[in-house]
Each structure stands twice: as structure tokens, then as C-alpha cells.
Structure 1
Amino acid sequence: MERIVKIGKTLRTNWKKSILGAVVVYYGASKLKEKYQINILMRAACKEAAKYGDALIPMDRNPTVITVILNPVANKRKAKKDYEKYCEPLLLLAGLQVDVVQTTSEGNAKEVVETLRGTEAIIVAGGDGTLSETVTGLLRRNDEANRFPLGVLPLGRTNSVGNVLFPGGDGVEKVKQLIQACMAIIENNTTWKDVMKIEPIDTGEETPNRPVYALTSIEWGAFRDTLAKKDKYWIYGPLRGYASYVFNGYKDSLTWDCSGTIKYTPPCPGCENCITRKPEIKRKWTFFIPNAQAAQSETKSMINPECSVVNELCFKSTEFRIQPQINNGISALSVGLGKNKYNYTEFVSEGWRRLKGESDVPEIVKARTIEFRPLDSKPDVVIAIDQEEFEVKPVKVTLLPKMIKSFCKNKTSIGTRLNKFFTS
């Protein structure tokens, strides 16, 4: 009987080892396949970048200078390694002179860009925070006639703008995304992006800070607070967002009460009252393909009587959000407000639906300018501007249509063609 028991234990031990071995072999094989695909993809991309540089760069001129603003601690300190492995080789093979400036602290990107000289383009290698700081520094410059085209290499933990310009994912898909972003710079594929200007309102209590600029969103409330905590639940891997709703949906530390007033003017296609003339971008990129359409049309001599009409709205909600949108060819600020109250089950269910892309903040109004005044501003309550946290204060938000020229992909770009290497 004892012998039979020993044999049973031995069989169970061997069975467990065989299962573990199979898992290790499968994981190792999948990693080897992914590494092989990335190597093939990068080899093809390097060949294309080198051909482009050899064909279009005259031998008798200096290389074009671009400045890369690199956040070395982005994405848990992986950004620098990924940039050097997947991005820098393509830019150098295309014949560009790449000057890399590594940020050293929060806010350093603004300081670098405000005083930057001797470059013809700025490339952001990081996440939403680095991009927001760079845009702010760019639009604070005094030499408005010499603003630079802006490139985005989505290397951060959050890449809202980068993921819109260049859809990506993990593994091979992430490398494809970075290749497309680099090829857009090399090929000079560009588009104009709207910008939100956020100016503190002078309340007489303290001197207002300088304005900041944003590309994606202004968010305040419990849903934003919950997602800001998701990295605490890293142990749940890709499910950490869902776990954050489960473990925080009942806590008083979330901002459950977003109350205040907004004064807003309606969207306007552009008239003498509100039009912002975009400065001409001067550069010496002789080897880049010129745009077929001019970046800016002449301002029409017209006045929209509704442009200066001011409306007022009081609100009380669980969340408050402002985003730039384009409807029927007209740029506008979209103001969204959620429900006034959620119980625990409703909050978690709604949060999960949003993570799946099945729900969003209901839109209330569209506007061109918004004066936002919170009802009660507490020191520990924050509002997120492009995922960066700021103290909740009265601000004026103004939409600046087509203010930043950004590199993007198109259907015929080399990056898009390389994206078809692996379709499975």
C-alpha cells in the first residue's frame, strides 16, 4: 500500500512538472516569435529609411536638425531604451541630425522648448505629460513666426495623442506604432491640431500663473480619480483598471461632488471677433515633400453676431470634462457632465463599460470659450489637464483651432505599408 502511495505522489509531481514545463516552453516560443517578427520589421524599416535619406538629401548641404525631447523616466524608465532601439536608428538613417535633450524634472520640457534655438522640428519622446509641457513651452515662445513642426513618439505610460495619430498596442504592434511615428517625421506627413489655452482667472487673491496649453482633455471628478489610482493595482496586470473601480468605488477620497458654473460662447467657424492667425512656419527642409494644401487660409472679413453671445450654466455632477472636437468642419469645445449621484454598483458598472469603450461622458454643450468657476475649491482636489494634475481654480478655456502642426501618418506612407508585414 505504501508503495502505491509513493508511486501516486511521484506521478503527481511529474505531472505538475510537465505542465509547468509546457507553459515555460509555450511562453518562450511566443517570445522568440515576437522577437523574430520585430527584427524582420525593423530591418525592413531601416532599409526604407536609408533609401529615403539617400534619394532626397543633397550631398552639398548640412543635415536637417531635429530636437528630441526625451523623458528618460517615462513608462517606468523604458522610454529611453525603446527610443534608442526602435526610433533613433530610423531618424539617423534618414539623414537627420538628431539632438537629444533629456528632461531632468517635472516642468523641464517647458523650459527647454521656450529657449530652444537652432532646430527645425521638435519631437516628443514620452507620454502625455511630456507632450503637454512641450506644447505649452512651444506656444509661450515670443518668436511666433518660427514655431516648429511637432512630432510625437508614443513612449509613455499614457499616450492619448500618440495613440490617435498612430494606433498601436503591445509587442509587435507597439514597434509598428513607433515605426509609423518615425516615418511620418521622415516623410513630412502633417496635420493641424486644435489646442486648448487654459488661463487662470484673476480673483484678486494671488497673482495668476502663466497659461498652459492642452491637446486632449480637461477632467475633474470621481472617474478620473479612480483611473489615476490604477497603477497601484499592478499585480492585476491588464485588469488593473477594473480592479481600481472595485477597490475605490466606495471611498470618500474620490471627488464625488463637482459643482460650479460655466460661462461660454457658442462655436464659431471664424470671424473677425475670434479668428487666430497662425504664424507661418519657416524652415529649410528642402528635401521634405511640400504639402499640397496651404496650412492657413486668409481670414474672411466677416462678423458672426452669435460669436460674442455669453451663456451661463450651473452644474452639479460626479464628473466634469472638456474636450476639443470637430463637428461638421467646425472646431468646438465639448463639455460633458455625468450623473449627479452613483451608488457603488452603478459606479463600478459604468467604469467597466468605459474601459471597454461602451460608454462615455454625456455631452451637454459645445463652446468656443469657457469660463469655469468651481463652487468649492479645496487644496487636495485636483483637475487633470492632459493627464497632468493641477489645483482646481477658476480658469478660462479658449479653443485655438489648427494651432499646432503635427506629424501624422497617411494611407500611402512607408510606415503604413510596413504595418502590413504581419497581419495575423
Structure 2
Amino acid sequence: MEKIVKLSKTIRNNWKKSTVGACALVYGASVAKEKYEINILMRAACKEAAQYGDSLIPMERNPTVVTVILNPVANKRAAKKDFEAYCEPLLHLAGLQVDIVQTASEGNAKEIVETLKGTEAIIVAGGDGTLSETVTGLLRRNDDANRFPLGVLPLGQTNTLGNTLFPGGDGVERVKQLIEASMAIIKGDTEWKDALKIEQISEAQEETPRPIFAMCSIQWGAFRDTMARKDKYWFTGGLREYATYIFNGYKNSITWDCNGTIKYTPPCAGCSNCLQKRQEVKRTWSFFMPSTQAAVVDQTLTVNPECSKTEELCFKTSEFRIETSTKKQEVPSLNIVLGKNGYSYTQFISDGWNRLKNNAMPEFTIPARTVEILPEDPGREVTIEIDKEEFELKPVKITVLPKVVKFFCKPSLNNT
């Protein structure tokens, strides 16, 4: 009997070793295949970028200068490595003069862009936070003649706009995404995007802070607070986001009550009330043929009596969001999203998991041009999120700015 037990243990141990060895071989083969595919992609992209540099830039002109705002700590410090591996070589091969400026702290991108000179385009190498800071610095400038086109290299942990312009994934798909984003800058196709202007509402005697700008969303409430803690549960691996809902669905430190009043105006296609006439600036890459542009109707002469009509609504919810519209439409607008008021523990987990699987968030939505958020005093410090950057909750006014930032994009998305 003892011999049988020993034999059984020996067989089991040998089986474990062989299984582990087989798994290691499969994993090694998968990694080798991925590296091979990435090398093929980069070789083709480098060849294409070099052709642009050789054939489209005249010898008698200076190289086009582009400034890269690189966040070296984005995506857990992987952003710099990925930029140097997959993006920077293509920009150099295309004949661009690449000036790289690394951000040193939070808010540094705003300062860099506000004082930036001597460049023909800005490239954001980071995530949503770096992009938001760059857009804020750009739109705070008083010189309309220097509204540089922006390139987005989605190198951050969250890349909302970057993933919209250049859909990606993991592994090989992520490298494809970075190549597409880099080649869009090289090819020079552009598209205008709406932005959000956020102004703090202060008392008359207080000095009003300068506005900040965002490209995607403002979030406040239980779901935002929960997902902001997901990195704490790194030990759950690929189930980290699902585990976050399980561990936080009962905590009082989550903002379950978003209470206050909103005052909003309806969307408007543009009129004398909401538009200011500004100098039209044409900016194209100098080594491309000048683009023709259709005549534009001066909407500052249009009168729309509904534009300044204000509606007021009291709200109480577990989630409050304001988002730029992702759909192409004639009338620019932002969406006020009011979630459900009150969740049980199981309902919260179920709803959260459903969002992770299907990205489905069925809530009450109000389209608007401007909105004032007047929150009730929560009795404690509450955090909201503006394009993944955290701010203290205060009364603010949000205005949609139609087609105010020009981004490099795929040719199929070109609206210029």
C-alpha cells in the first residue's frame, strides 16, 4: 500500500511539472509571436513614414517643428518607454523636428503650453489628464493666431478621446493604435472637436479662478468614487475592476448622495447671444498643398430667442455626469446625465458589472449648451473628476465650446 501511495505522488508531481512546462512553452511561443508581429508592423510603418519625409518635404525648407508634451509617469511609467519604441522613430523618419518636453508635476503641462513658442503643432503623449491640461493651456492663450493643432498619442492608463480617434486594445492592437496615431500627425489630416469650459462660480468679493477646459466629461458620485480606488485591488489581477465594486458597494466613504440644483440653457447652433466673432486662422502643414475651405456663414448675426432661456432643476442622485456628445450632430451640445437615486448593495454591484461588460449606462439625459451646478453643502470634502483629474466639488458653470480645438485624426474622420 505504501508503495502505491509513493507511486501515486510521483506520478502527480511529474504531471504537475510537465503541465507547468507545457504552459511555459505555450506562453513563450505566444510572446515570441507577438514580438514578431509588432516588428513587422513597425518595419512597415517606418518605411511609410520615411517615404513622407523623403517625398513631401522640399530640401530648401526647414523641418516642421512639433512639440511633444510627454508625461513620463503615465500608465505606471510605461508611457515614456512606449513613446520611444513606437512613436518617436516614426516622427523622426517623417522629417519632423521633434522637441520633447517632459512634465515634472501635476499642472505642469498647462504652464508649458501657455508659454510655448516656435512650434507648429503640439503632441500629447499621455492620458486624459495630460490632454486636459494641454487643452487648458492652449485655450487660455490670448493669441488666436497660435491655436496649434493637437496630436494625441494614447499612452495613458485612460485615453477616452484617444481611443475614440484611434480604437485600440492590448498587445499588437495597442501598437497598431500608437502607429495610427503617429501616422495621423505625419499625414496632417485634422478634425475640429468641441470642448468644455469650466468656470468656478464665486462670491462677488472673491477673486474668480481662471477657467479650466476638458474634452470628455465631468463625473461626481458613487461610480466615480468606486473606480478611483481600483488600483488598491491590484492583487485580484484581471478581476480588479469587478472586485472594486464588491469591496466598495457598502462603504459610507463613497458619495451616494449628489444633491443640488442645476440651471441650464438649451443647445444652440450658434447665434449673437452665444458666439463671439473671432479671427479665422488657417493652419496647415507647410509641406502639403493648401486646402480649400467652403464659405462659412457668420452665425454671430443670427438671433435665437430660445438660446438664453434658462431651466432649473433640483436633483438627488447617486451619480451625476456631464459629457460632450460623441455623436456627430449639427447642433453642438453637452449631455447632463442623472443616474439612479439610491442603490442596494447587490444592485450597485450588478449595475457596475454590467457597465464593465457592456459599457451600458441607461440614465436620464438632458442636452444643454450651458449648465450651472449649485451643489448642496455635503458637510465634508467631496471630489469630482474632470477628464480623470480630481478637483474639489464647488459651484461651477460649464459651457460647450463648439469646434474649438483641432486634432490630428484618420483621413476618414477629416472634416476640414
Taking structure 2 as the reference length, what is the TM-score of the superposition? 0.95
State the shift of 1:8 in Å: 1.9
Judged with a 3 Å threshold, the aligned counterparts in structure 2 of structure 1 residues 364 and 284 are, in CA distance, closer, same or farther, namely closer
Q: 1:163 and 2:145 equivalent?
A: no
Separation in 2, partners of 1:293, 1:95: 27
How far 1:12 sits from its partner (Å)? 1.1
Structure 2 segments unaligned to the other structure (5+ residues): none
Change (3 A) 1:295 1:187: farther
1:4-43 to structure 2, matched below 5 A, reads 4-43=4-43
Higher mean alpha-carbon deviation, 228-237 vs 88-97, is at: 228-237
Q: Secondary structure at the match of 1:400?
A: strand
Partner Cα distance (1:277, 1:239) in 2: 51
Larger mean Cα displacement after TM superposition, 213-222 or 8-17: 8-17
Distance in 1 separating the partners of 2:277 and 2:165 = 24
The alpha-carbon distance between structure 1 residues 271 and 98, as it changes in their structure 2 partners (threshold 3 A), is: same
Q: State the shift of 1:27 in Å.
A: 0.6
Which one is further off, 185-194 or 371-380? 371-380
Q: 1:253: which partner in 2?
A: 253
Cα 1:296–1:148, aligned 2, differ >3 Å: closer, same or farther? farther
Against the structure 1 CA distance between its residues 28 and 205, is the aligned structure 2 distance closer, same or farther, given a 3 Å change threshold? farther
Counterpart of 1:175, as a letter, is V
Does the CA-based 8 Å contact 1:334-1:363 persist in structure 2? no
User: Could you say which residue in structure 1 is the equivalent of 2:89?
Assistant: 89
User: Residues 295-350 of structure 1, C-alpha deviation per residue, up to 9 Å, x if partnerless?
Assistant: 96533621011011111111011111111115642111110111111100111101
What SS does structure 2 have at the residue aligned with 1:334? strand
How far has the Cα of 1:275 moved from its partner?
1.8
Cα contact 2:275–2:300 (8 A) shared by 1: no
One-letter code aligned to 2:40: I
Who is 2:338 aligned against? Answer: 337
CA distance in 2, matches of 1:137, 1:377: 31
**Greater Cα shift, 229-238 or 25-34:** 229-238
Corresponding position: 1:321 with 2:321: yes
Distance 1:342 1:291 in 2: 54
Q: Following TM superposition, by how much is the alpha carbon of 1:209 offset from its aligned partner in structure 2, in angstroms?
A: 1.4
Q: Is the 8 A contact 2:284 2:290 kept in 1?
A: no
> CA 1:152 to 1:379, structure 2 compared with 1: closer, same or farther past 3 Å?
farther
Q: Quickly say closer, same or farther: Cα 1:412–1:267, change in 2 above 3 A.
A: closer
Residues 69 and 103 in structure 1, CA contact (< 8 A), matched pair in contact too: yes
* Deviation for aligned residue 1:164: 0.5
Query: What is the aligned partner in structure 1 of residue 299 from structure 2?
Result: 299
Q: Output aligned runs, 1:180-259, within 5 Å.
A: 180-204=180-204, 206-259=206-259
Gaps of 5+ in 1: 414-424
Moved more, 402-411 or 205-214: 205-214
1 CA distance for matches of 2:204 and 2:393? Answer: 16
* Structure 2 residue aligned with 1:275: 275
Distance change (3 Å), C-alpha of 1:309 and 1:412: closer
Q: Matched residues in 1 for 2:137 and 2:324: separation?
A: 20
1:140 aligned onto 2:128: no
For residues 299 and 237 of structure 1, what CA distance do their matches in structure 2 show? 53
**Whole-angstrom CA distance in 1 between matches of 2:12 and 2:320:** 57
Q: Is the 8 A contact 1:146 1:279 kept in 2?
A: no
- Cα distance between partner residues in 2 of 1:30 and 1:273: 59
| 8 Å contact kept, 1:276–1:400 | no
Q: Flag the 1:200–1:15 CA change in 2: closer, same or farther, 3 A.
A: same
TM-score by length of 1: 0.94
Q: Could you give the per-residue CA deviations for residues 120-172 of structure 1, whole angstroms, max 9, x where no partner exists?
A: 00000000000000000000011122110001000000000100000001100
Three-state SS of the structure 2 residue aligned to 1:194 is strand
Aligned amino acid, residue 185 of structure 1 = I
Question: Aligned residue for 2:391?
Answer: 390
- 1:402 corresponds in structure 2 to 403
CA RMSD of aligned residues (A): 1.8
115-124 vs 207-216, which moves further: 207-216
How many Å separate the matches in 2 of 1:392 and 1:156?
A: 25
**Structure 1 residue 278: deviation in Å?**
5.4
Mean Cα deviation higher: 90-99 or 236-245: 236-245
Q: Distance in 1 between matches of 2:380 and 2:206?
A: 15
Tell me how far 1:366 sits from its aligned partner. Answer: 1.1
Indicate how the Cα distance of structure 1 residues 173 and 97 shifts in structure 2: closer, same or farther if over 3 A, else same.
Answer: same
Alignment of 1:57-76 (within 5 A): 57-76=57-76
CA contact (8 A) 1:72 1:79 kept: yes
Are the equivalent residues in 1 in contact too, given 2:323–2:335 (CA < 8 A)?
A: yes
**How far does residue 233 in structure 1 lie from its aligned partner after superposition?**
1.2
Alpha-carbon distance between aligned partners in 2 of 1:195 and 1:403, rounded to the nearest angstrom: 7
Change in CA separation of 1:8 and 1:91 when aligned onto 2, cut-off 3 Å: same
TM-superposed CA distance for 1:286, in Å, is 1.8
User: 1:377·1:392 contact (CA, 8 Å) conserved in 2?
Assistant: no
User: Partners of 1:256 and 1:121 in 2: how far apart?
Assistant: 43
Q: Distance in 1 between matches of 2:278 and 2:364?
A: 29
Q: Is the 8 A contact 1:377 1:393 kept in 2?
A: no
Q: Distance in 2 between matches of 1:223 and 1:279?
A: 42
**Which segment is superposed worse, 260-269 or 197-206?**
197-206
Residue 371 (structure 2) pairs with residue 370 (structure 1):
yes
Q: Compared with structure 1, are the counterparts of its residues 295 and 14 closer, same or farther at alpha carbon in structure 2 (3 Å cutoff)?
A: farther
Question: Which residue identity lines up with residue 348 of structure 2 in the other structure?
Answer: F
2:357 aligned residue: 356
